[in-house]
Structure 1
């Protein structure tokens, strides 16, 4: 597989999540990725983009979400950048604890942590990079 680096950008509207879903579908077909990786990518990246649109940019259509992605024979890397002020990504409550089961926030970050092989937050959380390793 050759190294591919790309960028897409769109306004902060939830309908634009379809762009990312199609991108992941296309990448998985093009690179013949296993269904396990497809499922992890789809859930984690869509959750990250949804967070950027809804929580980061507060559904402000004038604010953009940027998705950078790169794929080679060892890994797929997705970076999601919003124009929000960020959040305290070090203090996300565990949604599996009984006291948090009814809360609607925190599940997306929890999922992203568990689905990606590695995850990094920058710019106070307004930039997140997820790594998904491709088994040999």
Structure 2
């Protein structure tokens, strides 16, 4: 996450879908504690759970022995969720456009597009193993 954010919460989960409820509980707690606007909560929930799902499926390849780490940073006007996996990373600079006609019927490929649509900013680092999703309060 960018400089200037204060770490306010963190969570480490195994790479399985049973752990998603812990992430949802963290999102609930963070949004309540930071007094995030109620109509913005859905954006946070969808974008962050999408990032965690990507980390579990694509990053850690559903390997239960590998963790997904979630950190929450806070600033005066905004906050962020950092989601990190232990996979090999990916080329986040050359993603296919999910709105292109040839991609419309594909089952995958919309997650990052969705995150970018719901958040103020989405930044990748560590060869794509870490994503920071930024939201206004």
Output the TM-score relative to the length of structure 2.
0.89
Q: Which residue of 2 aligns with 1:99?
A: 102
Determine the structure 2 residue equivalent to 1:69.
72
Q: Distance in 2 between matches of 1:106 and 1:36?
A: 26
Count of residue correspondences? 132
Once the two structures are superposed, residues 72-99 of structure 1 have per-residue CA deviations (whole angstroms, 9 ceiling, x without a partner) of 3311111100000011111111212221
User: Is 1:18 aligned with 2:35?
Assistant: no
Asked if the contact 1:4–1:72 (Cα under 8 Å) also holds between the matched residues in 2, the reply is no
Residue of structure 2 equivalent to 1:89: 92
Q: CA deviation at 1:130?
A: 1.0
Is structure 2 residue 124 aligned with structure 1 residue 129? no
Name 1:30's counterpart in structure 2. 33
Unaligned runs of 5+ in 1: none
Q: Is the 8 A contact 1:69 1:76 kept in 2?
A: yes
C-alpha distance in 1, partners of 2:119/2:51? 11
Taking the aligned partners of 2:7 and 2:71, their CA distance within structure 1 comes to: 10
